[in-house]
Amino acid sequence: MSSHSSRIVPATLAFNTGGTPVSPAFDDVYHSASGERGPWGQAEEVFLRGNGLLGETSRWRGRRHFTVLETGFGLGLNFIATASAWLNDSGRGEWLHFMSVEKHPFQQEDMRTLWRRLARDMERKLVDELVQQWPLLTPGLHRLEFAGCRIKLTLAFGDAVTLLPKLALSADAIYLDGFAPRKNPELWSPRIFASLAKLAARDATVATWSASASVRDGLAAAGFAMRREPGYGGKRHQLNGVYTGHIRRAAFTPAERRAIVIGAGLAGCGITHALTRRGWRVTLIDRHDAPAREASGNLAGTFHPVMSRDDNLLARLTRNAFLNNLRAWRTLHAAQPFAWATTGALQLPSERRRGAGLPPVADWPPELVRAVNADDARQFTGAPLTDGGLWFPDGGWLQPASLCAAQLAASAGNTLRIFATAVDRCEYSQDGWKGTREDGGIIAEAPVLILANALDAQRLLPAHSLPLKAVRGQLTHLPADALPRLKACVCGNGYLLPALHGEIVSGATYGPGDTATDVREADHADNLRRVAEIVTADLSSLDAAALNGRASVRCVTPDRLPVIGALPDPDAAATTPSRARRLPGLYCATGFASRGILWGTFAGEVIAAQIEGEPLPTEKDLLAAIDPARTLKVAASSGDESQKRKRA
């Protein structure tokens, strides 16, 4: 996929003579203007009532989670109406999930203009939050939260034909609300209906204002029992239905919301926070006497997405994590402040790619990334540079230990911390998982176990043969006056962060197989050479022997992608990771390499959603890229090669 083909083309703000918003591209209106209650009446009568979501018999009553899937977000009328009805229902469940696909979303300012004309007083707070949180128009999934995280809106920006098969969710209600079938036939095609059927939960309902025979027959062919009902706002009929087709095997559901998390670094604290926000009780175990004592204990690190010419898996994963983390961190920081700043981050071309140039970014929103020349690079960063690069305005630095502390503070009411305690073994029985000491004493028991302990996960799960490797990295702390004007992060063959507590963090070295954490003069000298490749400042007066720094061990996989999710049964053969049988209640988050800041919060949301059966916050192909089951294939392949060499 090229950068151009992945570009999101925004909707054009336009109105007809009656003042109703219209799409010039599809020559159709965004909502009904007829009926006593206009667009609100259509949302409530066609979609809410059509899916059985109004009144004392609402289908979401008594449900821990209820998930709505929509084709065609448009202005968000159906979402606002659904969220408002859910909040006003005293018998509602615990969480409402709303997933909506939109190929041509509006720009934020256009959304503000549209809602000034439409909002009712009762929905004003929801509307203001929607507009305020409105994401950058980039392809993929964007998760927004409302009502103290009880309502989760996931916006899937892109073509529904290609996006729907990539979504991971189980929909209880489906809203079909695209432009008219004759105006936008792709959105009402057999491919779309087949994709919706694969995403439907048991007894899922579907509703649409369209009464087209082709829509009715297409949905029926996909497994929906359809019926025609009286329409709204001058339309004679509408369609409602129930899914009666094949239902996938139910996912693992723990009897109690209790979990053991081993490891209290960025991964473990991110997972603990994600679970406790959902009402879970977590026992957090770490062999050190405090959180963030290993790689997460570095003074600071940088965060920004990766860009590529073909918008590859790594680029899409880091963009998803980066954009969703920013929203999550801002919410957390408002309640539990921690040390971070979106100073901006500059990515310089590496030596091996200098001749090829930087990935083209003209089609991406400038609020995400833009190419800058050397003059602009110097102005934005305050660093003496000879090259331009890619500028990420919302990139920046973060102190990992402070993020961990904030996440644990927010989780305090539901978290039992057991520190300075090493887990010797993890065992499973019918009652769940338990972690034991070397003497066999039980440290903790719970239905769910999550390993977030980097390389040590290999020791606790030897049968999985997780292909994790140790890579030592040393950071060097420069005095702030070495680069007195540095105000943003600069990343090249190494990186430089603005001064924190009087020190500029630079680095880092890369030592495969080295697990020692002593601070070495030779590594400081190596980092100084890296700095000299980035900036033109004269640092010859700095003595490597006199500099401060810190060394830690990164955990790396062969493909440099993290391992996040439900662990497979190593004794069960599978042709693909998606078909792998999973061990009940066992998950891991490891292999973060040098991107722990990005992956920690992201891993928490992925694993918590998997455990809870929520819509996943990223697409299936990206989940497959980080799936622990892929490592079995790597391990098996390595074993096959080993056997071949022995036979030869």
- DSSP per residue, 581-626: PEEEEEEEEE--TT-HHHHHHHHHHHHHHHHHTPPPSS-HHHHHHH
CATH 3.30.9.10 in the chain is located at 345-393+469-555
Query: Boundaries of CATH 3.50.50.60 in the chain?
Result: 258-293+401-468+558-602
Question: Hey, what CATH topology would domain 258-293+401-468+558-602 get?
Answer: FAD/NAD(P)-binding domain (3.50.50)
Number of CB atoms found within 10 A of residue 14's CB: 13
The 3-class SS string of 25-58 reads CCCEECCCCCCCCHHHHHHHHHHHHHHCCCCCCC
Q: Residue 525: which of 547, 549, 505, 544 has the closest Cα?
A: 544
Q: What is the mean predicted confidence (pLDDT) over 541-564?
A: 96
| Residue 354 backbone dihedrals phi, psi, to 5 degrees | -60, -40
pLDDT the model gives residue 573: 64
Would you state the pLDDT for residue 39?
A: 82
Instruction: Kindly report the CATH class assigned to 39-243.
Output: alpha beta
pLDDT digits (tens, 9 = 90+) for 234-287: 788 999 999 998 877 666 778 899 999 999 999 999 999 999 999 999 999 999
In the chain, ranges of CATH 3.40.50.150 domains: 39-243
- Residues facing residue 433 across a β-bridge: 428, 446
Q: Which helix (H) or strand (E) holds 286?
A: none
- Supply angle C-alpha 197, 198, 202, rounded to 5: 70
3-state secondary structure (DSSP) of residue 276: helix
- pLDDT higher at 467 or 70: 70
In this prediction, residue 645 carries a pLDDT of 31
The alpha-helical segments, DSSP class H, found in 470-591 are 521-534
DSSP string, 431-454: TEEEEE-TTS-EEEEESEEEE--T
Element at 69 (helix H, strand E): strand 65-71
CATH 1.20.120.80 fits domain 345-393+469-555? no
- What are the pLDDT digits (tens) for 43-100? 999 999 999 999 999 999 999 999 999 999 999 999 999 999 999 999 999 999 999 9
**Type of residue found at 377:** A
CA neighbor of 253 nearest in space, from 585, 616, 637, 629:
585
pLDDT exceeds 70 at position 306: yes
Q: What is the pTM of this model?
A: 0.94
Q: What are the tens digits of pLDDT across the range 131-147?
A: 999 999 999 999 999 99
Radius of gyration of the chain, Cα coordinates, nearest whole angstrom: 26
> At CA 609, angle to CA 607 and CA 615, rounded to 5?
140
What is the Cα–Cα distance from 156 to 135, expressed in whole angstroms?
11
Q: How far apart are CA 52 and CA 71, in angstroms?
A: 18
The model's confidence at residue 17, banded by pLDDT at 50, 70 and 90, is confident
Residue 520 has a CB neighbour count (10 Å cut-off) of 16
Q: Are 275 and 282 in contact (CB under 8 A)?
A: yes
Q: Which two tokens stand for residue 572?
A: 């069960």
Q: How far is CA 629 from the centre of its chain?
A: 19
